Amino acid sequence: MDKEALKEKIFAAVRAVKEQGPLVPSITNTVTVNFVANAQLAAGGSAAMVYMPDEGEAMAAVGAAMYINMGTIFPIYRETLPRTARALAANHKPWVLDPVGIGIGALRKEILLDFQDVPPTIVRGNASEVIALANLWGLPTGQDHDGVRGVDSTDTVLAARQAAENLASFIDGAVAVSGETDLVTDGTTTVLSRGGSPLFARVTGSGCSLGGVVAVYAAVTDPFTAALSAVQAYNFAGSRADVRAHGPGSFEKMFLDGLYQASPADVASNPFRILT
């Protein structure tokens, strides 16, 4: 795939979301659920969040795509998440998994193991989370440790390249690894996207909301383009907010403004390169 073709696909995806306003429901953590919804709305999608098993199934049927984020687990998730994943598979709907918190607690592990049978279309995580998920699913990662510390990553994006590529191939979709530079892969083509801001690390939910926006783009395009479009939109809007922000409080708001304002051309033209 050449770079110009990719840019055209990104342009088309960003425009399609603004035109169609796809409904993209989420089951996501309580910490950043507001930011996820607002980022999805800013990008042009429509949001709806649920917790109950039959509601997850209903959303899998009516949503154009879906987002599942493991940040905070409730007891009911033992039923909700497996049933929702099966409903998504039955309805042939794309969905994004953010395995945040992987390694903490028995239920999260049980659910993540279950997802191996009904895999997501796209995985979004930091380097340590992506390595940990690939290790959990028995895929080669070249890393014998997971590097997860709570919700932080102690691994670099490039250290997760092998894990990300094997994970993308296994799910026959795409993986986005967030870090100083962001890596997106479909297992064959791997891209690095630049931009953003160090302040992303000082605003909770930067990664979660990116996952939600990936799901919005997944409603209108293929998994790899969806992941890359969202990453590009974040790096574009993050770079712009970084210039004017006085700290994480003003940054978050300027970032949302920038995500809302970003044109298809803005997102497509954010700097990225294809790894060889």
User: What is the contact surface with its own copies in residues (CB under 8 A)?
Assistant: 23, 25, 29-35, 37-38, 41-42, 46-52, 54-55, 58-59, 62-63, 71-76, 101, 104-108, 149-152, 201-205, 245-250, 252-261
Measured CA to CA, the distance from residue 205 to residue 53 in angstroms comes to 24
Question: What CA–CA distances, in Å, run from 57 to 51, 86, 120, 149, 196?
Answer: 10, 8, 15, 32, 35
Using only the alpha carbons of the chain, give its radius of gyration. 17
CB count within 10 Å of CB 180 equals 11
Q: Minimum distance from CB of 237 to its own copies (Å)?
A: 10
For its own copies, the closer of residues 73 and 158 by Cβ is 73
CB of 260 to its own copies, least distance (A): 4
State the minimum distance, in angstroms, from the CB of residue 159 to its own copies.
Answer: 20
Q: Which is nearer to its own copies, 192 or 213 (CB)?
A: 213
CB of 264 to its own copies, least distance (A): 16
Indicate the Cα dihedral angle 227, 233, 234, 236, nearest 10°: 140
CA–CA distance, 56 with 218 (Å, rounded to integer): 18
74 vs 271, which CB is nearer to its own copies?
A: 74
**Lookup: tokens for 122:** 């796209």
Q: Which is nearer to its own copies, 182 or 252 (CB)?
A: 252
Judged by DSSP in three states, 194 sits in: coil
Beta carbon nearer to its own copies, 189 or 204:
204
Is there a contact between 274 and 7 (Cβ–Cβ < 8 Å)?
A: no
Least distance from its own copies to the Cβ atom of residue 150, Å:
4
* Least Cβ distance, residue 198 to its own copies (angstroms): 11
* Contacts with 201 (C-beta within 8 Å, 6 or more apart), sequence order: none
106-115 vs 77-90: helix axis angle to the nearest 10?
10
**Whose Cβ is closer to its own copies: residue 23's or residue 159's?**
23
